[in-house]
Amino acid sequence: MGALHAGHCSLVQKSLERDDATIVSIFVNPSQFAPTEDFDVYPRTFDSDLEILDSLESRSEQAHDWKKVAAVFAPKVSEMYPNGIPLDVSKQVGAFVSVQGLGDKLEGATRPQFFRGVATVVTKLLNVCSPTSAYFGQKDIQQTVVVKRLVQDLLINTEIVVVPTVREQSGLALSSRNSYLANDVKNDSAVISQSLQKAEIAYYEQKTRDASEIRQIVLDKLLPYTNGDLAAYRLDYISVNHPQTLEQLNEVVPGVGAVLSIAIYVPNAGGSETRLIDNVVLK
Amino acid sequence: MGALHAGHCSLVQKSLERDDATIVSIFVNPSQFAPTEDFDVYPRTFDSDLEILDSLESRSEQAHDWKKVAAVFAPKVSEMYPNGIPLDVSKQVGAFVSVQGLGDKLEGATRPQFFRGVATVVTKLLNVCSPTSAYFGQKDIQQTVVVKRLVQDLLINTEIVVVPTVREQSGLALSSRNSYLANDVKNDSAVISQSLQKAEIAYYEQKTRDASEIRQIVLDKLLPYTNGDLAAYRLDYISVNHPQTLEQLNEVVPGVGAVLSIAIYVPNAGGSETRLIDNVVLK
């Protein structure tokens, strides 16, 4: 969706390393925003995006062969939605892709129709480019599960590659929406990844496999920010889910593993709230 | 869906004439049947289908170049639905394509989820083959509208070609489900196409453009079979709709045109009912 940061760049870099030609799509997709969400103000920084992409390169085995981004695909809304796309879901007409049983959980519970929008636009992008591989960041982990499933189910001949989340030095997961945050909140928000990491360590040190205990570790770490008179963070969910089916788990079975994920509203610079997400994968 | 008849052959013939290579898919698609419908008993005649396809050929400009079907694609259910597909919609998990605003009318009103099943399997088939053109029969006219829209919306690079309905000498539209009918009912069912034709003639003779009058002409012609003590036909709908949006029309505007369509249950040889559909396009 543009507003490129180092997280996006790591996807591009991965493709430059692995593939013959790399195409970057930049498209702020209206169908994954609710009418109440930030479609209109979502950061759009196309010119600097192009500069950033132009700076990326990967050297192959042969020193004379530096690879760069081959093309940027930045369609108009009317090209991606030839029959129009009102933000109001009840007015939307035409073809949509939904991934039942995966798109209605977690992020989908808080943001109904979100993954229908994601699945639909990803299907369109893959149909337009027919890439051998497509790269998605682990930060939006449910998106990676939904996209892997849609590619499998709709028989699309593209490998979905998941690239680790890129973080600030503080640990805060990079997100275009971080630009909404004042510096102090941005610093404080490092507690989100720290809370996940604490639970992750407890799991790998075999202190617990119990999902509610794992969630409690995260919750405790966040407590100063979510509870009490000065607390300004508002928790949406902390959840432990099966890595493929996204079913909620009571216990994490090593070898099967789990996704431990969080969504939380933090105060933003404009006086309202910004919703941040993060996750760790337990193996 | 196999059980090939002259209607299917006209699609193949059209492709043989127009295209370099013709692939025929044969797949009885479970996701477009409701649990109460005839998925299990739907006619499957694979060996004779292959013989029929082998008999088709088209001579190109050069007399030495006879074209025949290049391949038959007859996947297993588990290949088209790698994660399984229960007939019970509430148990279905995974990626589905729906065409909102087009799939819920007419056939979709009587058969909920029908066009979700059609749109999903057509998307899969087009993704697997990436054909330049795909051929559909006018008999299933709503299907052609839904498929045209999904190809446009999902940016699939395939031209959808609609081929006229092939009919028995009596006028009855060919359908694999006609095999469910006893001979006398099959003969009587010619009244379906005759009723549409009567309305069509009235329209082109400029006797009426009014949708309810057009429907009444069809209804009157069917009356001996739908009303009275010995009447055994049960009407589902007679409808006049916009050719692209499928909105119900009050008046047919020449130049815009309309689809006049019918669905009707007729008694079948097994003592229950078979649902037949037919349509004419008014220009």
What's the rounded mean pLDDT across residues A242-249? 95
pLDDT at B266: 96
Structure tokens at B168: 């028995």
Same domain, B53 and B188: no
pLDDT at A29: 95
Report whether A104 contacts A63 (CB < 8 A).
no
- Which range of residues forms the domain containing residue A224? 178-282
Complex ipTM value: 0.90
- Does residue A243 fall inside a structural domain? yes
pLDDT at B111: 86
Helical (H) or strand (E) element with A33: none
Same domain, A59 and A198: no
What's the rounded mean pLDDT across residues A225-234? 88
Q: How far is B200 from chain A (nearest CA, A)?
A: 29
What's the rounded mean pLDDT across residues A195-216? 98
Tens-digit pLDDT profile for residues B108-146: 998 888 999 999 999 999 999 999 999 999 999 999 999
Judge whether B195 is closer than 8 Å to chain A, CB to CB.
no
Name the pTM for this structure: 0.92
Same domain, B151 and B186: no
Q: Are A153 and B83 an interchain contact pair (Cβ–Cβ within 8 Å)?
A: yes
| Farthest-apart Cα atoms in chain A, separation | 61
Judge whether A157 is closer than 8 Å to chain B, CB to CB.
yes
pLDDT at B62: 66
Same domain, A88 and A157: yes
Q: Give percent above pLDDT 90 in chain A.
A: 84
Tens-digit pLDDT profile for residues A154-182: 999 999 999 999 999 999 999 989 999 99
Same domain, B275 and B155: no
Q: How confident is the model at residue A249 (pLDDT cuts 50, 70, 90)?
A: very high
List chain A residues with CB under 8 Å of B120: 154
Q: How confident is the model at residue A92 (pLDDT cuts 50, 70, 90)?
A: very high
Task: Identify which of A93, A102, A153 has the shortest CB distance to residue B82.
Answer: A153
- Does residue A87 fall inside a structural domain? yes
pLDDT at B231: 84
- Does residue B248 fall inside a structural domain? yes
Whether B242 is a known active-site residue: answer no
- Smallest CA-to-CA distance from A56 within A100, A11, A95 is with A11
Same domain, B28 and B97: yes
Same domain, B241 and B151: no
Mean pLDDT by groups of 10 residues along chain B of 283 residues: 95 95 96 90 94 91 79 96 90 94 90 93 96 97 97 97 97 93 94 98 97 98 89 94 96 98 93 94 97
Same domain, B27 and B153: yes
Using the predicted structure, report yes or no on whether residue A62 has a pLDDT greater than 70: no
Distance CA B126, CA B94 (A): 18
pLDDT at B66: 83
Which residues 68-97 on chain A approach chain B with CB closer than 8 angstroms?
80-83, 92-97
- Does residue A171 fall inside a structural domain? no
- Does residue B173 fall inside a structural domain? no
Split into its structural domains, chain B has a count of: 2
Supply the angle between the helices A211-226 and A190-204 in degrees, to the nearest 10. 150
CATH number at residue A228: 3.30.1300.10
Domain final residue, candidates B163, B187, B214: B163
CATH number at residue B47: 3.40.50.620
pLDDT at A61: 67
A94-100 vs B94-100, strand pairing mode: antiparallel
Judge whether A139 is closer than 8 Å to chain B, CB to CB.
no
pLDDT at A66: 83
Domain final residue, candidates A163, A195, A220: A163
- Does residue A200 fall inside a structural domain? yes
What's the rounded mean pLDDT across residues A98-110? 91
Same domain, B112 and B22: yes
Same domain, B75 and B35: yes
